């Protein structure tokens, strides 16, 4: 007999692999550590950690497969930004691609992510609520309406588009952390602890406003 499906609602947590200029992506260690902490502390949810390829061709279908396979009720994506000085919580994704090479050395095929897609997709988690929760705990945090034109923005845009499809019930958010978490104002330990606060706050809102299936 095969294993029974896990009855717990799924939370999808993603980070990225390396890309030009970033040989070790801090979001990889963040997501792995966050998933371990969340599994131990929040047993009523199933946590899936995935490291996405920083690749124009591979990242979007990878996100689609993860949504299709796991049907998450919450998808939180993490990436690094050289300009971030703490947690930078994104409020929207834009239907744009900058001409920047990915980990495979390739450029995007077009200047838009989806030819017929919306120009802007707002995140469906409450970014101000998450920022307020982090600020109350003393973490450096800011809100941003510009996720960039690279793979972070692309993944957020595709995840929001998929999560907003028929029959879907998934809230989506994106958080940037500094590229270097080896020292303050945000170390890796602090980043994992703060990201755990984000997960708790997002799930509290989810269970109140959108009961899991």
Q: What domains can you pick out in the chain, each with its CATH number?
A: 10-209 (3.40.630.20)
Distance between CA atoms of residues 189 and 48, nearest Å? 20
pLDDT at 210: 43
pLDDT at 39: 97
pLDDT at 1: 42
Distance between CA atoms of residues 197 and 192, nearest Å? 9
pLDDT at 207: 57
Intervals of the chain under pLDDT 70 = 1-6, 207-213
H or E, element range at 30? helix 26-41
Other C-beta atoms lying within 10 Å of the C-beta of residue 143: 14
pLDDT at 150: 98
pLDDT at 208: 45
pLDDT at 182: 95
- How are beta strands 92-94 and 120-122 bridged, if at all? antiparallel
At 50 the three-state DSSP class reads strand
pLDDT at 211: 41
Tokens matching residue 191: 């980043």
pLDDT at 6: 63
Is it true that the peptide bond before 185 is cis, omega within 30 degrees of 0? Answer: yes
pLDDT at 5: 56
């Amino acid at each position: 007999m095969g294993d029974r499906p896990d009855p717990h609602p799924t939370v999808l947590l993603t980070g990225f692999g390396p890309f030009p200029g970033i040989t070790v992506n801090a979001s990889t260690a963040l997501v792995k550590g966050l998933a371990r902490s969340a599994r131990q502390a929040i047993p009523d949810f199933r946590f899936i950690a995935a490291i996405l390829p920083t690749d124009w061709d591979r990242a979007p279908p990878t996100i689609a497969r993860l949504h299709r396979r796991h049907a998450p009720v919450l998808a939180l994506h993490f990436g690094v930004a050289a300009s971030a000085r703490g947690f930078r919580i994104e409020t929207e994704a834009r239907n744009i691609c900058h001409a920047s090479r990915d980990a495979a050395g390739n450029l995007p095929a077009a200047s838009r992510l989806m030819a017929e897609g919306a120009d802007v997709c707002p995140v469906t988690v409450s970014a101000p609520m998450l920022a307020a929760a982090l600020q109350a705990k003393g973490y450096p945090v800011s809100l941003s309406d510009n996720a960039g034109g690279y793979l972070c923005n692309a993944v957020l845009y595709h995840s929001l588009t998929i999560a907003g499809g028929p029959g879907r019930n998934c809230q989506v958010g994106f958080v940037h952390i500094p590229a270097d978490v080896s020292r303050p104002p945000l170390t890796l330990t602090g980043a994992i602890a703060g990201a755990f606060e984000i997960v708790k706050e997002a799930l509290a809102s989810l269970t109140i406003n959108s009961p899991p299936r």
